[in-house]
Amino acid sequence: MKRRALITGASRGLGEALARFLATDGFDLVLTARRAPPLEALATELRALGADVLALSGDVGTPAHRRELIARAVGEGRVDLLVNNASELGPSPLPPLVNYPLEELVHVYEVNVVAPIALVQGLRTRLAESRGWVVNISSDAALGGYAGWGGYGASKAALDLASLTLAHELAPEGITVVSVDPGDMRTAMHQAAYPGQDISDRPLPEATLPFWAWLLHQEGSRVSGHRFQAQAERWEVPA
């Protein structure tokens, strides 16, 4: 039976690149993103490659969509890989944390922290059955303390800690949990972080594909709980 991956934020950027990569690597897919037309176009393309694709548009920041997504994914029969890629940057231009609109900050945390945890909770049984993987997409902003990046960075720091905690809690069930900083990329979200600036020097998300080919062929128990940089010069399995 083919493996199945669920990818959030799959209609563009890193999520789109990962969906194509996994489809060519033999995965069936459950994809979600807020924008329906590009998501459906991608699903059609990947079906032509031989993948069984369920595309469900919606915002993972809303509990109703998360419940529907979990129910549909569970109904597909198996989940081997959950990629929590959907991310909310917050207001653009990026405001200082000291002046951050709190209702916007709540939404950033809902998408970047609550949604990944909720999806792990809802898919836990399926992931345990397949000894599956959870990959949470982080950022260098989680570590940097960069001015203006406080809301987004704090949410990704929380996601990193959640990833480590879940790795410890779920190890007895054979579930691998890692967090990955993909590095700067030429994406719509990165452009929104730098409005009006030329970001054409950033690499496309496809630059990270060698890392994913490496990571997903590692032994889960050896990498679980660790944080990786996809654009590092080399990757190592922690001792």
**Cα 55 to Cα 19, 117, 158, distances in angstroms:** 11, 21, 28
Cβ–Cβ < 8 Å for 218, 237: yes
Residue 89: band (very low, low, confident or very high) from pLDDT cuts 50, 70, 90: very high
Cβ–Cβ < 8 Å for 205, 21: no
Cβ–Cβ < 8 Å for 105, 153: no
Tell me which residues are annotated as active site. Answer: 152
Does 52 map to a domain?
A: yes
The H or E element containing residue 148 is none
Token look-up 């490496």 returns 214
> Residue 239 has what pLDDT?
72
Q: Tell me which residue range forms the domain holding 29.
A: 4-229
Does 235 map to a domain?
A: no
Spatial CB neighbours of 110, under 8 Å, sequence gap ≥ 6: 61, 88
Per-chain mean pLDDT for the chain: 94
Q: What is the total count of domains within the chain?
A: 1
Write the DSSP symbol of residue 203. P
- The model's pLDDT over 7-42, given as tens digits with 9 standing for 90+, comes to 999 999 999 999 999 999 999 999 999 999 999 999
- Cα separation, 121 vs 127, in Å, equals 10
- Cα separation, 210 vs 227, in Å, equals 17
> Residue 199 has what pLDDT?
73
Phi, psi (5° rounding) for residue 90? 100, -170
Does 59 map to a domain?
A: yes
Residue 237: band (very low, low, confident or very high) from pLDDT cuts 50, 70, 90: confident
Does 239 map to a domain?
A: no
> Residue 198 has what pLDDT?
80
Residue 112: band (very low, low, confident or very high) from pLDDT cuts 50, 70, 90: very high
- Cα separation, 126 vs 134, in Å, equals 12
What is the value of pTM for the model shown? 0.96
- Cα separation, 5 vs 78, in Å, equals 9
- Strands of the sheet containing 176-181, edge to edge, are 53-57, 28-33, 4-8, 81-84, 133-137, 176-181, 227-229
Residue 132 belongs to a domain with what CATH number? Answer: 3.40.50.720
Share of the chain above pLDDT 90, in %: 85
Does 27 map to a domain?
A: yes
- The model's pLDDT over 169-220, given as tens digits with 9 standing for 90+, comes to 999 999 999 999 998 878 777 777 777 778 788 889 999 999 999 999 999 9
- The model's pLDDT over 52-77, given as tens digits with 9 standing for 90+, comes to 999 999 999 999 999 999 999 999 99
Does 105 map to a domain?
A: yes
Does 236 map to a domain?
A: no
What is the pLDDT averaged over residues 88-100?
A: 94
- Cα separation, 15 vs 43, in Å, equals 12
- Is the pLDDT score of 152 beyond 80? yes
